[in-house]
Amino acid sequence: MKKLLTILGAIGLTATAGLSVIACSKDKNEGNEIDPPVEETIEEIIKAFQEDLNKITTKVYNLAENQSKFTRIIKDGEDQGTYNFFNFNYLSNNFKNESNESEKVFNLRNDGKESEVLMLKDLVQLFTQQQFAEEIRLTLETGDNATRYRNIYMGSVDATLGGFKIAQDKDFKLTNSIIKDEQIYTIEMNISRDMYFKDAEGTKTAYQTYEMPLKIVIGQEGVIMNLIEEVTTKLPTMLYNNKETNNKVSTQLKYDDLKEISSNFKSYGNLNESIAKFINTDVFKEDLKKSIEEILTEEFPSQINFKGDIVTSESVKTSATLFEGGTFKQSKFWVDMGNNAMINSLFLKAKETKALDKNVAITELKKTIIDFDKNFGNFDNKAREFLKAVVPNTSEANEIVEQIYTYGNFALSNIEILINDGTNSDVALPIPTIQIPWTFSNTISEEFTDKGDAFLASLYEAILVLNEKSLQANADASSRAERLFDLEDSFKENIRNNSFGVSWQEIINMIEGNENKEQSLERIIGNTNTWSIMNAYSDFQEDERVQFEGLNILMTFNKAAQNYLVFKKYPDGKIGLGFKKGITLQQIRQIDVEYKVNLGLTRIQAKLPFMGYGNQDSFYDAKDAFNYIEDKDFYGDNRDRGAWVNQVYYERETFAIFVLD
């Protein structure tokens, strides 16, 4: 028997901010061709580019050499630095505390723009052009991104970099503190930077990066300034390296840490909110307090207060994620449904078909990803560099890197450290912005200790749950030329209630009002090639087996599909997606439909089997897993894909991709 060709012209794996599955197809024996898949739209590329601009800015901001600049100790009385506003001489001459108050606040919005103009000049010294240049070249001009961003990158560092900005809707203030006769100034603001890129039309366009809180301190050398410097220098390392053996909580975060305080936590998603909740727990605050007290020592009896949340989800920044955009975009496409166990017995299997073994699936998944080990290596190298500041021991750092999926920093705030100034009065210690490093390890899997295997195991589980609760091959193989897919009842109901701009009854009325009992895609979903089927599905997302945050399900249609597919009423009274009245066999063979599912940051795409596929290096047929196939007669009655398409033509009046009631 001729090998069954495919229900999916192709399925593959790539990543936008994680792994994704992409499909393309070309039939060996027919004249119809499908163009190579467009991995990303210009909109997706621009979004990824902007996210990389944010990460560049965050990395420069968090450089150890820059963090050390946030506390300036002036020796020998005179400020010899070249700063304009962040200059002790300038501040002491222009912002006098004539009444010798222990703390005096100046609103810098009240002096016109003078302070802002000077501070903007200082930001260029705090975060140098050279630092940005190194990160831009590394991130935008080398590796895969050099090709990925070639049409939107401005072509040079100078053309990309715009000016710094001080947020107008946040505080911009100066505080003068007098502690043990030391004059100390604290400047507070939120900053961002304009960066430039070319939009879809090639027009130079500005993008404002994430706002970062910035609090910087300057004062003459003395015991208090030295103490401030010690706190800001030691605290990040202490918090990251706190271990359970020391009865302290560490910012080496694990799945159980975040799951305990966020019951709906998912390993592969946005960690910011869960991390902020964890840091704001009483347990973490108590350990933070102990760490600060260790630094202050008995010489400075202190009282440490927390004035609300010490971290916001907005202040939690991710520096890198193992499965971020572009990491695995160069991957092969799965083809040949009838002979590919990864498709036949996993992604779009019939409900009763036995699922492919998890270990077999993980092995096959790895084969579809080009440079799988290399991509892991690139992430791990970056993670080791990130950890150098807080984990100088190489073997310890390597042990951590083997487990982590993502890492970043968060800014501490709302911490009040009161010390006695020698006059029996408690004075708040001015503390600059302190960026604390964090890492995340997904320790949910007891079966897989390797982080790559653990991710692929979670992907396998999510695909199975998705198949179970949404779209499946028709359980009766012999009738798949009459109805291709079955839908779970709750999935159908969600589509009817949430997937159209009008009510389901209005759609029925429109179809009933047509003499052929059908309506075009344009009438039902609008003038678009993309139908957004579902943006949330609680039955799927609330399942504990799913470790991917968020769900988005789409269908995209080529021009032929837009012309020849309709929503129609069938003789049994059901409404579904099928062919326009009078369609020809040649027109059926021109139809290209992609079914797409975004599992958090992971995308799965599959082409329906109306068009064929050809031999390309980018295709993957899972031939090594052939013996694991369960549904070997996918098209029914020993048909191959071509014979199935012919049978679909004969059943064209009643054929349905799926029905919705």
Examine the pLDDT at 14 and tell me if it is beyond 70: no
Give the chain's mean pLDDT.
Answer: 86
Q: Which of 186-200, 359-373, 391-405, 434-448 has the lowest mean pLDDT?
A: 359-373
Q: Report in angstroms the alpha-carbon separations of 486 from 403, 467, 474.
A: 40, 10, 5
pLDDT value at position 73? Answer: 95
> Of 128, 595, 562, whose CA–CA distance to 343 is shortest?
595
In the 3-class helix/strand/coil scheme, how is 130-155 assigned residue by residue? HHHHHHHHHHHCCHHHHHHCCCCCCC
Q: Which of 149-163, 388-402, 561-575 has the lowest mean pLDDT?
A: 388-402
Q: Which two tokens stand for residue 408?
A: 């970043």
619-620, strands of its sheet edge to edge = 11-12, 333-334, 619-620
**For 573-608, how does the pLDDT look when each residue is reduced to its tens digit (9 = 90+)?**
999 999 999 999 999 999 988 888 887 767 777 778
Q: Which two tokens stand for residue 558?
A: 């080529």
Per DSSP, which regions of 255-383 are E strands?
302-306, 316-321, 333-334
User: Which pLDDT band holds residue 15 (cuts at 50, 70, 90)?
Assistant: very low
Helix 372-387 / helix 394-401 crossing angle, nearest 10 deg:
130
pLDDT value at position 3? Answer: 34
**DSSP state, residue 400:** H
pTM of the model: 0.80
**For 216-254, how does the pLDDT look when each residue is reduced to its tens digit (9 = 90+)?**
999 999 989 999 999 999 999 999 998 644 667 899 999
**For 23-41, how does the pLDDT look when each residue is reduced to its tens digit (9 = 90+)?**
333 334 344 444 444 456 8
pLDDT value at position 22? Answer: 33
pLDDT value at position 366? Answer: 85
**For 105-158, how does the pLDDT look when each residue is reduced to its tens digit (9 = 90+)?**
999 998 888 999 999 999 999 999 999 999 999 999 988 789 989 999 999 999
Distance CA 506, CA 524 (A): 10
**DSSP state, residue 3:** P
Bridge partners (DSSP) listed for residue 426: 420
Q: How many C-alpha atoms does 641 have within 13 Å on its Cβ side?
A: 27
Q: To which residue do tokens 């404002």 refer?
A: 208
**DSSP state, residue 443:** -
- Spell out a b/e string for 280-313, using b for 16 or more CB atoms within 10 Å of the CB, else e: beeebbebbbebbbebbeeebebebebeeebbbb
| CA-CA-CA-CA torsion sign (234, 239, 243, 247) | positive
pLDDT value at position 37? Answer: 44
Helix 223-241 / helix 282-296 crossing angle, nearest 10 deg:
140
Mean pLDDT of the region 46-58: 93
Length of the chain: 661
**For 38-51, how does the pLDDT look when each residue is reduced to its tens digit (9 = 90+)?**
456 888 899 989 99
Q: Report in angstroms the alpha-carbon separations of 368 from 327, 334, 380, 456.
A: 14, 8, 21, 12
Q: Where are the domains of the chain?
A: 37-221, 222-322+370-444, 331-364+449-479+539-660
Residue 446 contacts by C-beta under 8 Å, 6 or more apart in sequence? Answer: none
Mean pLDDT of the region 348-361: 93
